[in-house]
Amino acid sequence: EKGGYEHFMLKEIEEQPTAVRDTLRGRFTATGEIALDEVRLSDQDLRDTDKVFIVACGTSYHAGLVAKYAIEHWTRLPCEVELASEFRYRDPVLDRSTLVIVISQSGETMDTIMALRHAKEQKARVLAISNTVGSTIPRESDAVLYTRAGLEVAVASTKAFLTQLVACYLVGLHLAQIRGVKYADEVAAILDELAAMPEKIQTVLAAMDPVRELARSLAGVQPVLFIGRHVGYPVALEGALKLKELAYLHAEGFAAGELKHGPISLIEDGTPVVVIVPSPRGRGLLHDKVVSNIQEVKARGAKVIAVAEDGDTAVVPHADEVVYVPVVPTLLAPLLTAVPLQVFACEVAGALGLEIDQPRNLAKSVTVE
Ligand code: F6R
């Protein structure tokens, strides 16, 4: 059932173009509107939303962190993202005009279930994104959008993560449509870009040999730092989580702008720093700021591995290695930039002779709080 692959994780990484394509299939109505799978509330309920919370754990939480950028941009609703295990213990401000989006691959994560129940007790509306039809979380929610990643066997989440990102984008666009779209042209363009994504993910996957080689040459070196800005920041967190859980190495993700506020002191001669470089076409000069960050870590001896957009030559003089990914709108870039980090972690763990599909101390579904 591993279909010729040595590990499920490798198979599931390779299945990502298909998983993304499946998650997009048939999601639009004849009039171009995005439809959820199950809806037990009215469009008016969604229209009345004045605040969004996203609640999840682990990798699903990282998908939520990416979603915040898209949802706030497209809907102009304030959106907060919180770890499920923290959410209900701090008395969050919730009422019937709050939309709580819970993200859970398994649909059975106890921390997330308890957060969902707390939100419902406070009369908030709950929308679930899950990969498991009929599991507890979608059953207890007011609306559901299923990811269609198929069964994910490896404990470390890969294809589920990419499909969660897709589902988050769809929910963001759905909310924008329901609320009256301010960015109508942008929504149509984003849908086209999403449709083109499976092929672009395939392009990334086809170019992973240098990443594997790099991973083998760095296997065991720690710490490994991951830095990014904007949507690249959650990708950095996810890259670090993958390396921690699979290779048992100290890995940390940081917002690149925070480096100088502390973490830069970790850098020694040869410390690997993986940098998610924003598109040079993006707003706010973030690209140039990240190139400066690269120079700062480089000057302190870091070995810089940049994940950058095709054609971005500005990083070349400063980075030790550059992994290029196809050009896409900034908000969608995590669907591509996360992939080399998954491959990197998987390959490091393999080089260290570790059990890739079943890392120590971890379970696929965490059904205790
Ligand atoms: C990491 C990983 C975990 C899960 C987390 C939430 O690779 O798999 O961090 O993402 O336990 O699980 P779900 O999404 O099932 O609620």
Phi, psi of 119 (to 5 degrees): -60, -40
Top-confidence residue, 357 or 15: 15
Burial of 356 (0-12, 13-18, 19+ CB in 10 A): buried
> Residue 277: how many CA atoms within 13 Å on its side-chain side?
33
Cβ atoms of 37 and 162 within 8 Å: the answer is: no
The answer to whether the CB of 58 is under 6 A from ligand 1 is yes
Q: How confident is the model at residue 30 (pLDDT cuts 50, 70, 90)?
A: confident
Q: Whose alpha carbon is nearest atom 9 of ligand 1?
A: 58
Pocket residue to mutate for ligand 1, from 366, 368, 369, most atoms within 8 A of Cβ: 366
257 near 229, Cβ under 8 Å? yes
Query: Which of these, 329, 103, 341, lies nearest to 194 by C-alpha position?
Result: 329
Task: Decide whether any atom of ligand 1 lies within 6 Å of the 366 Cβ.
Answer: yes
Task: Give the DSSP H or E segment for 305.
Answer: strand 303-309
Does the beta carbon of 57 lie inside 6 Å of ligand 1? yes
How does pLDDT run across 117-140, given as a tens digit for each residue? 999 999 999 999 999 999 999 999
Q: State whether the beta carbon of 132 lies less than 6 angstroms from ligand 1.
A: no
Q: What are the tens digits of pLDDT across the range 282-297?
A: 777 899 999 999 999 9
Residue 363's pLDDT is 86
255 CA to middle of ligand 1, Å? 22
Cβ–ligand 1 distance for 153 under 6 Å, the answer no
Greater confidence (15 vs 35) lies with: 15
- The tokens describing 308, both together, are 């950058």
Distance 368 CA to ligand 1 centre (A): 13
Whether complex ipTM tops 0.90: yes
Q: Whose CA is nearest to atom 6 of ligand 1?
A: 57
- For the chain, percent of residues with pLDDT exceeding 90: 88
Work out which ligand 1 atom sits closest to the CA atom of 112.
16
Using a 6 Å cutoff on CB, does residue 104 contact ligand 1? Answer: yes
Minimal-distance CA residue to ligand 1 atom 5: 58
How is 15-51 classified by DSSP, letter by letter? THHHHHHHHHTT-B-TTS-B--SEE-S-HHHHHT--E
Q: Distance from the CA of 37 to the center of ligand 1, in angstroms?
A: 22
59-86 pLDDT per residue, tens:
999 999 999 999 999 999 999 999 999 9
Instruction: Identify any residues that bridge with 81 across adjacent strands, giving them in sequence order.
Output: 54
Q: 79-83 and 51-56: which strand pairing?
A: parallel
Using DSSP, how many helices (H) and how many strands (E) does the chain show?
14, 11
What is the model's pLDDT at position 179?
Answer: 87
Q: How far is the CA of 175 from the centre of ligand 1 (A)?
A: 25
Span from the CA of 310 to the centroid of ligand 1 (angstroms): 31
Share of the chain above pLDDT 70, in %: 99
Instruction: Find the 89 Cα to ligand 1 centroid distance in Å.
Output: 20
CA 156 to ligand 1: nearest atom: 7
| Annotation marks residue 364 as catalytic | yes
**Per-residue model confidence (pLDDT) at position 132:** 97
| pTM of the entire predicted model | 0.97
